Amino acid sequence: MAYRETEKMRQRKAEARKKIIECTWECVSEGGFRSARMTRIAGLAGVATGTIYRHFESREDLFAEIFRLATQREVDKVAEALAVDGSAVERLDNALRQFARRALKGPMKAWALIAEPVDPKVEEERLVYRKAYANLFEQAIRSGITEGCIPDQDARLTSTCLVGAISESLVGPLSPTQTETPPGHDNNEDELVDTIVCFCLRGLTGTRS
């Protein structure tokens, strides 16, 4: 008996794995999942293509993992934004804004996560996370109903409507075919967010707040 996995090795492997994940996300951030090549990822991470396969079952599995990690960050941000003090409507307002702002800040990333056509395993993850968003919103809507600031409704379904409305209206501007984001921080980006959020809140509350 001569070789036994030691802590040092475990760490080194963990680092390699982390590096692969980072470089994959870098590729995805540049051009989405479809155009991310294993060879490029390996090159960026400074490993051979074969090495990737000691850390991930397959390309699809790697991508699913990357998707999970990236989306979880976003879901957490939304959860955070929903956790502030205030009425349910105020908290939803805050969360929707957060979602939209972040999407507009990293359009290619947002497109990859929200709208890019992806392989089945990744699409599965997407459905999971859409549900995660919807669940968060749903909970907030429920408390709004209890509080009385939101009329009674099918919170599960209307939370899905929120996700749809905000995603679609961002994907238009986000779509990588329409990359022409003008130079300066357009303040009509704020108007964009305002309009979308306003639509969403009206949809829930039925008032012209």
Partner DNA sequence: ACAAAGAATGAATATTGATTCAATGCTTGC
Partner DNA sequence: GCAAGCATTGAATCAATATTCATTCTTTGT
Q: Is the dihedral of CA 114, 115, 116, 120 positive or negative?
A: positive
Question: Whole-angstrom Cα distance, residue 123 to residue 129?
Answer: 10
Q: What is the DSSP letter of 3?
A: -
Residue 148 lies near a second copy (rule: CB under 8 A): no
Name which of residues 106 to 135 contact DNA (CB under 7 A). Answer: none
Does 73 participate in binding DNA (rule CB under 7 A)? no
118 is a contact residue toward a second copy (CB under 8 A): yes
Work out how close the CB of 117 gets to DNA at its nearest, in angstroms, rounded to a whole number: 14
Candidates 66, 103, 162, 174; binder of a second copy (CB under 8 A) is 162
Asked if 47 touches DNA (CB under 7 A), the answer is yes
Span near DNA by CB under 7 A; candidates 1-9, 103-111, 136-144, 170-178: 1-9
Q: Based on CB atoms, which residue is closest to a second copy, 47 or 165?
A: 165
Can you read off the two tokens belonging to residue 2? 């001569």
Tell me which of 177, 179, 184, 185 binds a second copy, using CB under 8 A.
Answer: 177
Nearer to DNA by Cβ, of 5 and 85: the residue is: 5
Residue 202 near which of a second copy, DNA, none (CB within 5-8 Å, type-dependent): a second copy
Length of the chain: 209
Which has the closest alpha carbon to 193: 96, 106, 111, 107? 96
Crossing angle of helices 7-31 and 59-82, in 10° steps, is 80
- Total residues binding DNA (CB under 7 A): 26
Binding partner of residue 84 among DNA, a second copy, none, CB under 5 to 8 Å per kind? none
Q: How far apart are CA 203 and CA 161, in angstroms?
A: 9
DSSP 105-167: HSHHHHHHHHTS---HHHHHHHHHHHHHHHHHHHHHHHHHHHHTSS----HHHHHHHHHHHHH
Binding site for a second copy (CB under 8 A): 116-119, 123-124, 127, 130, 151, 153-154, 157-158, 160-169, 171-172, 175, 177, 191-192, 195-196, 198-200, 202-209
